[in-house]
């Protein structure tokens, strides 16, 4: 397993807000981010969401329910403001899924945030949910997966995005980096798109590999503030 990387000596800890909108498993994410070297606030207050160096959007449950809960605390607008301003956001599990165009669960379609093209659909596997450890295929120049591209991560989900079709409109624009995994079919395990990143798996439950990935993200906040 990967070794823990210490925070750079003499640097202030980046501030991270974990969005508190009713999702479960938030405390484990808070503790994991603190171990990764961040000063963490659990909040949905606009000042905390918009002012932190980084925002983490966790998500557990149904796509449509998570979207409704995000809307109830005005999170969709605030996430959009952060992304438009180049302010880092990290989505986790359903926090990744809602960044896509839509989700279809039990025949019901719900609109997502539309940051990326694609529809979240049931995985075509004999056994769902996809629960447990799985490998990923990350791009060679991935920031999130530096040092852990050959490791396994912990997944708990029945739905995923199984195709990627992203048109780069501006020639100088760097296309997003997409990491894949497989359960019944290939599905998107992570996306890195400038300030907007997300993972389908739970890094806070993925042992040393997940801890290293969160450390990579927290350290990228330091570089962004430099």
Q: Report the alpha-carbon angle 101-106-110, nearest 5.
A: 25
Give backbone dihedrals phi and psi of 140, rounded to 5 degrees, phi first: -60, -30
Give backbone dihedrals phi and psi of 209, rounded to 5 degrees, phi first: -65, -45
Catalytic residue (one of 115, 151, 192, 204): 204
Q: Among this protein's residues, is 202 annotated catalytic? A: yes
Say how many CA atoms lie within 13 Å of 29 toward its Cβ. Answer: 26
Q: Among this protein's residues, is 93 annotated catalytic? A: yes
Catalytic residue (one of 69, 93, 183, 197): 93
Catalytic residue (one of 130, 157, 183, 202): 202
Which residues are part of the catalytic machinery? 93, 202, 204
């Amino acid at each position: 397993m990967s070794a823990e990387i210490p925070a750079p000596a003499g640097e202030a800890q980046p501030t991270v807000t974990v969005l508190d909108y009713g999702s479960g498993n938030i405390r484990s994410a808070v503790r994991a981010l603190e171990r990764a070297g961040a000063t963490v606030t659990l909040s949905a207050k606009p000042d905390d969401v918009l002012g932190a160096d980084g925002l983490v959007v966790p998500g557990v449950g149904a796509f449509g329910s998570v979207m409704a809960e995000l809307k109830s605390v005005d999170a969709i607008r605030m996430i959009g403001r952060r992304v438009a301003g180049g302010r880092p956001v990290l989505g986790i599990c359903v926090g990744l899924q809602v960044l896509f165009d839509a989700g279809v669960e039990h025949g019901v379609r719900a609109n997502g945030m539309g940051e990326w093209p694609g529809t979240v659909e049931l995985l075509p596997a004999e056994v769902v949910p996809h629960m447990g450890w799985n490998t990923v295929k990350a791009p060679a120049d991935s920031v999130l997966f530096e040092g852990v591209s050959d490791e396994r991560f912990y997944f708990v989900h029945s739905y995923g995005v199984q195709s990627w079709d992203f048109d780069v409109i501006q020639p100088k624009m760097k296309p997003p980096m997409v990491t894949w995994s497989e359960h019944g079919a290939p599905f998107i395990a992570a996306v890195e798109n400038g300030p907007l990143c997300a993972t389908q798996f739970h890094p806070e439950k993925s042992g040393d590999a997940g801890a290293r990935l969160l450390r990579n993200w927290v350290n990228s906040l330091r570089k962004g503030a430099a």
